[in-house]
Amino acid sequence: MKLFHSKTIKQISISILCASTFTVGAQTKEIAEKYRAKYPGQQYVQILHQEIIRIDVVKAKPIVTSSMSDQYLVLTSNGAGALTEDNIAFSSFETIKNIDAYSLNPTEKGSKKVPASNFKTKDAEADDGIFHDGGKETTFMYPGLVEGSLRVLNYENQMGENRFPFGFYFANYIPVEKSTFTIDCDSSVHLLFKTFNFEGENIQFEEKLVKSRRIWTWTSLEPKPVKRESNAPKYSYYAPLVYAQIAYQNTKAGRINFVSNLDDLHNWYKENIQQVLNEVPNEELVSITNELIASKSTEFEKVKAIYYWVQDNIKYIAFEEGMGGFVPRFPSEVCSKRFGDCKDMATLIHTMLKIAKIPSYLTWIGSRDLPFKYSEFPSTISDNHMICVYKQNGKAYFLDATSSFQPIDYPTGFILGKEAFLHVDDTKWEVVKVEIPAPDKTIMIDTTRIRFENKKIIGSSYTIISGYYNVILHDMVKHAPADKMNKTFESINQKGNNNYKVIRSSVKNVDDRDLPLILIHDFEVDNYVTSYDKETYVNLILEKDITVETELKEGRRSPFELHNYSSDAYNVVLEIPKGMKVKSLPQDVKFDSDFVSYQVTYTQKGNEVIMSLKMDLKFLVLYPVDFPTWNKFVKLMKKSMNETVVLEKII
C-alpha cells in the first residue's frame, strides 16, 4: 500500500538563496572558507532549505503546487564528487515541471554558470527489485563542481490528488543554515496542521492574512543535524517536521469536505475496497476455503487454517503503481495467480473468512517506520500497509500474511504498538491499537552443561525459542543445508570466545509455527579456562553479546529501537572436576527498571555450579530521557560478565 508524500525523504525540498552573494569567484571561496571553519570535517553544507506550497482555487477546485529549490555549497573536493549527481523523486500523483538546475562555479575572474546535464526520467525501483510503487525519478548531473561551487536546483511539483497531505522536514543529515516552510492558501480552503518533534527546537511561526489569502510560515535557523546512529528508528520519530492537508473548502454551493476527520478518511478509503467487497468469489476460491475448514470444529481453528494457507501459498510481491497502491485486486484473481501485495492478501483472507461465514475487517495500518497516529492526525501519513482483523471474545487478531511464518497470536513485528483503522461497514470505522506481546511471549531459554579439560570447555546446549525470535530465526535454520547446519548454529550463537566450534546440531519443530523452535547442539571452546597455581577460573556467562546496544553515548539525539519485547534466560551448569572444590562464587546481581530487568544468580548443588541469568526487555523505542537508566544497567551487566567461578585443588 503506497504512502504518499508531497516529496520523498530521499529528496528533501529546499529553496533558492539569492544567487548574487555567489556571483564573484573570490567571494564563493571566502564563503567556503567561512563554512569550513564553522563546520570542520563537513564536505558540503545546505545554505537554505525552503518550500512554498501555494493553494489556488481554479474552476471552483483547489490546485496545490509546491515550489521547491535547493542550494548546496561545496567545501571540499570530496564534496564536489558527492554532489555531482542529483535526482528528483516523484509519484504517479505528481507532475514535475519547470526544472532549473545549474551550478555557479568559481573562476579567477568571477564565477561561471554551468547548466546541469544528462537528464533522464525512469521508474524508481526498490533495491531488491521486487517492490514497485509506480514512483519515478528524474536524474541529472552537475559537471565541473569544485570547492566553492554553489549547486542550485529549482522546480515545481503539482499535486494530482487534493486529499493527500504535504509535509516538510526542517533538518538534514548535514548542517542546514536556514529552513523555511510556507503555505500560501486561498482563504476559502481550510487546512489541518500538525507539528512533530518541535520540543527544544528554535522554530519561529508566523501567520498572516493578505487580502483573500492566508499565509503560514515556519522558519528554523541552523536546525540540529540528524545523525545516523545505530539501531535508531526513522528520523521522523525525532526530527522536527510539519504536516498539513486540505480539510474542507467553502464554496457557493456549500462546504466540500476533503480530509477533515476520520469520517472523511474512511469515506475515501472505502471507495478503494468496494469492488473487492462486492466480488462473487469463483469456484476455485470457494472450494479451497471449504476444504480448509471442513475438518475444523471451532471458528478459531477455521480462521487459523485460512490465515496459514494464505501465508504458505500466496507469494508477497508488491506492485503498487498509481491507484494500484490503494485498490486491492480481486481475491479470486489473487488466489489463482498465487501472488499479491499486502492489500491483496488482506482482501483474500477477508473473502475466505466471508465464505466460511466468519466476520472480519479490512484494516489500514502503518508500519513502525511511521510514528504518526490516526487519533492525532487523520491522514494517509498514518498508514502504508493493509491487513485483515478478526475478533474473538474481545481480542483482536491482526492477520498479516506478508510474513510467511507468523503465528496467529502474534501481530507482525513491524506493526507493534501501531493504531489500526478498521473498516466496519459503509458508515462505521474503528481505531484499535495493536497490543505488544509481553516479554514472556518471546523467549529464549538456553540450558547449557559444560565441563572442562585443561583450557578447553566441552558442552551441550538445549535452546527453546518462541515468539518473534522463532519468526526471525526460522528461515535461517529451515533452509540451511545439512552440511552447513553447524556453521549456521555458530552464526546464531557465540559462546565463550572466537574458538567456539559446533560439533553436532539438530533442530525440532521447524515446520510448525505454533510450537517453539528447539535448537540442540554440542560444542567446544578452546583457550577459555584460566588456571594459576592451584586455582582455576571459569566465566559461566558464555554469551557476552546479549543486547544489540551497550552504552548509549551522551549527546545521542536519536532514540534506540528494538524489534519486540523479549525475555532471555541462560542457565549454565558447570561440572566440578574430581579433585577440585569451589573456592568462591560471584555475587548475585539484580537490576530493575520500567523497561529493563536483569538478574544473575550462582548456586552450588553437589558437584555442580549453576549460573542463571535472566534479562527482560520491555520497550520498542527508548528515548534519550531514559538513556542514563539504560547505561546504568549496561555498566552493571558488563561488570557481571567479567566475574568468574574460582575452583581450587583439594589437597
Which string of DSSP letters, residue by residue, matches 253-273?
TEEEESSSSHHHHHHHHHHHH
CA dist 628 and 620 (Å) reads 17
Count of beta carbons in the 10 Å neighbourhood of residue 214? 18
CA dist 587 and 43 (Å) reads 51
Residue 4 lies in a domain: no
| pLDDT for the residue 92 | 86
What single-letter amino acid sits at 462? Answer: Y
Residue 6 lies in a domain: no
49 neighbors 176 (Cβ within 8 angstroms): yes
Task: Note the pTM of the prediction, 2 decimals.
Answer: 0.90
pLDDT tens per residue across span 150-180: 999 999 999 999 999 999 999 999 999 999 9
Residues 81 and 103 in one domain: yes
Among all chains, which residue has been given the C-alpha cell 470457494?
Answer: 286
**254 — alpha (psi -120 to 50), left (phi > 0) or beta?**
left
Q: Which one of 410, 433, 456 terminates a domain? A: 433
Residue 244 lies in a domain: yes
- What angle do helix axes 342-355 and 299-313 make, rounded to 10 degrees? 140
412 neighbors 563 (Cβ within 8 angstroms): no
**Three cell numbers written together for 467:** 515468539
Residues 240 and 364 in one domain: no
Among all chains, which residue has been given the C-alpha cell 500497509?
Answer: 385
53 neighbors 182 (Cβ within 8 angstroms): yes
177 phi/psi in degrees, rounded to 5: -75, -45
**Three cell numbers written together for 487:** 556453521
Q: Which one of 400, 433, 466 terminates a domain? A: 433
Sequence-ordered list of residues with C-beta below 8 angstroms from that of 649, at least 6 positions apart, any chain = 534, 579, 580
Residues 266 and 229 in one domain: no
Q: Please report the DSSP string for 342-353 in residue order.
A: HHHHHHHHHHHH
Residue 397 lies in a domain: yes
Bridge-based pairing state of the strands 596-605 and 589-592 = antiparallel
pLDDT tens per residue across span 345-364: 999 999 999 999 999 999 99
Side-chain-side CA neighbours of 13 within 13 Å: the count stands at 28
SS3 616: strand
Q: Single out the residue of 291, 289, 361, 348 nearest to residue 314, CA to CA.
A: 348
556 neighbors 229 (Cβ within 8 angstroms): yes
CA dist 185 and 146 (Å) reads 40
What CATH number did the domain enclosing 369 receive? 3.10.620.30
Count of beta carbons in the 10 Å neighbourhood of residue 395? 9
Residue 3 lies in a domain: no
Residues 250 and 267 in one domain: no
Residues 233 and 301 in one domain: no
Among all chains, which residue has been given the C-alpha cell 551487566?
Answer: 637
Residues 325 and 216 in one domain: no
**Three cell numbers written together for 122:** 525512469
Residues 379 and 286 in one domain: yes
Residues 83 and 39 in one domain: yes
Residue 607 lies in a domain: yes
Residues 399 and 547 in one domain: no
Q: Which one of 433, 465, 498 terminates a domain? A: 433
CA dist 167 and 240 (Å) reads 11
| pLDDT for the residue 109 | 79
Residue 643 lies in a domain: yes
Residues 420 and 459 in one domain: no
What CATH number did the domain enclosing 227 receive? 2.60.40.3140
What CATH number did the domain enclosing 579 receive? 2.60.120.1130
**Number of structural domains the chain divides into:** 3
Residues 80 and 206 in one domain: yes
Q: Report angle CA 447, 449, 453 to the nearest 5 degrees.
A: 155
Residue range(s) defining the domain that contains residue 286: 262-433
What residue ranges of the chain have pLDDT lower than 50?
A: 1-26, 127-132
Residues 286 and 419 in one domain: yes
Residue 10 lies in a domain: no
